[in-house]
Chains A and B, each alone.
Chain A
Amino acid sequence: MYRILTRRKLNQNVTMIEVEAPRIAQKALAGQFIILRVDERGERIPLTIAGTDIGRGAVAVIFQVVGGTTMALDQKGEGEFLSDFVGPLGNPTDVEGVKRAIVVGGGVGCAIALPVAGRLKEIGAEVHTVIGFRSREFVILEEEFRALSDKFSLTTDDGSYGEKGNVCIPLKRLLEEGGYDAVYTIGPLAMMKYTALTTKPYNVRTVASMDPIMIDGTGMCGCCRVTVDGVTKFACVDGPDFDAQKIDFDETMQRNRAYLGFEATMREKHCNLFKKEGTDV
């Protein structure tokens, strides 16, 4: 059993928890993920590590409530326990030799973009960040990004906060300046796809962090397969980072929709369950 040390709502749909897992905290590097199960009947879901605190033995993950499992996870308070918490899985983000980079985060993906930006700072790189959200109410981690970034832009689709539009607009402006070694993009698949299209003419190495459906996270199920440069790769052991110019984003978008119907049913079931228990959702 793994104890939840802290819990913080980042916006109405997104929650950050810190879980007690000292060894994972010690070993994890930016870009790696964990798999957790809320309880004995729960499914295994992958979540990218948002941060670690070795001293407190804490591993932070950030999640958005989408289906039954994330809803159940969101019901867990500080001091409560998760039945399973496995990691660190996947390969760390490759930041070697990078001196100047752009980090593009979208929505809840910013949770993963933040440690990547942090890691880049650690190795002495100049970090420019662009983070985007649907509208003001969904903005997360703004202060954290500002503190890390040498240049910072924020967009909202509806213009309710920051610059109106998507991340590609400020991204293009930065790219025009030139001199970047790498672009890291982490967020919705559509955003990563368009980031890749935007960087393509500039010939900058662009890395996308994929989060396909997964079960074991050790290369066993093949569920997380992603087509990269025409070849099937397993995100759990070969990734989760891949060359964004070579990823078949459309295929992954289709694959991620495989269980949408089931997710909706489970969400409803959980809602009813929580109502019965007298907790509000």
Chain B
Amino acid sequence: MYNGRMTKYPMPVQAPEERVGNFSEVALGYDEETAKFEAERCIHCKNRPCVGGCPVSVRIPDFIEKISEGAFEEAYQIISESSALPAVCGRVCPQEKQCEKFCVRGIKGEPVGIGRLERFAADHHYKHAPKAERPVSNGRRVAVVGSGPAGLACAGDLARLGYDVTVFEALHTAGGVLVYGIPEFRLPKRIVEREVEHLVSLGVKVETNSVIGRLYTVEELRTELGFEAVFLGTGAGLPRFMGIKGENAKGVFSANEYLTRVNLMKAYEEDSETPVYRGKKVTVVGGGNVAMDAARTARRLGADVTVIYRRGAEELPARREETEHAMEEGVKFKFLTNPVEILTDSQNAAAALRCVEMELGAPDESGRRRPCVKEGSEFTVETDCVIMALGTSPNPLIQKTTAGLETRPHGEILADENGKTSLEGVFAGGDAVTGSATVILAMGAGKAAARSIDEYLRSKA
């Protein structure tokens, strides 16, 4: 049955005034009835442009059809053919730039809520699915370095193929950026834990507190520990700074530090031992998802928050829903503004930001209009806490400690579309290869590498 409704069924959410006081998930998810109604908005057009918009080509109309029929588990199984982390991607994918961008229903009205339906199918699966059966082991050992989206996806696919997989994680909790970066209110940590538990039930071993490059080099994983292949999914965690005066003052943080303290170390909870700097007037520099996460986290810690972004509202790279949620929660925005100096008090703590106004010139190589400084536009913004959310570069440790592993100038590991690196038996994928990108691309790269590792090991057998 076709549903002619022009707009998506609204996502139930916690009210803004309520949610700024807690860290619980903002979007609550569709119930079965709403999911079916939303699924019926899909007209099942012939060309299926949504599938082309999905970085991993999920068979979108097919899973949507299953939802409209009430066959929710079947819907999940269809998504699972292409995606390892549907519960995560349904929540964090920038759908408006991917699948939903191409939805025919979006020409007049709103596209089908594909992300919301994906999330629904995944959440339904976890509520009802029986425990996974452990595949028969083929006895061949593969090491996966890093337990973020790329590593989890790669480990899962290899385990299903029968490989004996060990995941090495540097931090004390598995999940990578999904646990240290993305906040609880956007991606509950329970969901990531469930993904990791699922891998463990498939027989994957997870070694936390294991910094590869230090504890074992990649070479030692192979020679001493006997892994036949290694996948590097070490991510892009090295924060960038602006290089402006005052940046090392007290009260100036990378978004990574701020979010790690709050998400991974749970600094917002009464009994956590980890401190977090509770600024009263927080400024966040940047316009991506991480900037929104930091701004909304600071709001929840009681601050007055302003996001400073050098381009305009139209150019914000963050997922639209995150920007909207941030605005609803009272985060202020100063567009076309760029800091040039952090002014400090006598204790060398941040006191104000000296900024300039920007205007947009001709498009640059990214296709976005390049911001230029407006002459004589300098002004200051009072602030006691500055969070830099300017993007990240690949973690350097593996690159520095692995002889023969070729990299790009910014430290990205060189790998082809199948994850093959310059070293035989060593594969890589995700942000470690591309620089900071999306969860779904990293997940897709992990899956591609798993196929490639399987082929490699079969050819060697």
Chain A residues within CB distance 8 Å of chain B: 23-24, 27, 37, 41-44, 68-69, 72, 83-89, 215-223, 225, 227, 232, 234, 237, 251, 254-255, 257-259, 262-263, 266
Contact = CB atoms under 8 A, between A and B. Distances in A.
3 smallest CB-CB distances across A and B, nearest first, come from A222-B254, A220-B237, A262-B275
A108 to B, nearest CB: 20
B265 A89 contact: no
Contact of A219 (B209, B253, B395): B395
A87 B257 contact: no
Interface in B369-400: 395-397
B453 to A, nearest CB: 25
A237 to B, nearest CB: 6
Nearest to B235: A220
B261 interface: yes
B256 A41 contact: no
B215 A42 contact: no
Contacts, number: 113
Contacts of A223: 253-254, 257
Interface of B: 170-172, 180, 208-211, 214-216, 237-239, 241, 243, 247-251, 253-254, 256-257, 260-261, 265-266, 271-275, 277, 347-349, 395-397
Main secondary structure of the interface of B (DSSP, over half): loop
Given A219-B397, A222-B254, A87 B273 contact: no
Contact of A221 (B215, B216, B257): B257
B214 A87 contact: yes
A41 B272 contact: yes
A88 B265 CA distance: 21
Contacts of B180: 216, 220
Contacts of A258: 250-251, 277
B265 to A, nearest CB: 6
A27 B215 contact: yes
11 contacts: A24-B215, A86-B211, A219-B238, A219-B397, A223-B253, A225-B241, A232-B241, A251-B248, A251-B348, A255-B348, A258-B250
A84 B275 CA distance: 18
A225 B248 contact: yes
Given A83-B172, A216-B260, A254 B273 contact: no
Contacts of A217: 211
Contact of B215 (A72, A88, A220): A88
B250 A254 contact: yes
A99 to B, nearest CB: 28
Contact of A218 (B208, B251, B265, B397): B397
Contacts of B273: 41-43, 68-69, 72, 266
B397 A254 contact: no
A153 to B, nearest CB: 34
B348 A218 contact: no
Given A218-B170, A251-B348, A259 B275 contact: yes
Contacts of A216: 170-171, 180, 237, 260
- Counting chain B CB atoms within 10 Å of each CB, the highest count among A215, A217, A259 belongs to A215
Contacts of A69: 273
Nearest to A83: B172
A255 B253 CA distance: 11
Contacts of A37: 172
Contacts of B214: 27, 87-89
- Counting chain B CB atoms within 10 Å of each CB, the highest count among A219, A222, A259 belongs to A222
A221 B275 CA distance: 14
A220 B248 contact: no
A196 B212 CA distance: 34
A41 B261 CA distance: 12
A258 B258 CA distance: 14
A96 B397 CA distance: 22
B104 to A, nearest CB: 42
A23 B216 contact: yes
A255 B274 CA distance: 16
Given A23-B215, A43-B265, A220-B238, A215 B348 contact: no
Nearest to B240: A222
- Counting chain A CB atoms within 10 Å of each CB, the highest count among B180, B214, B253, B266 belongs to B214
Nearest to B274: A43
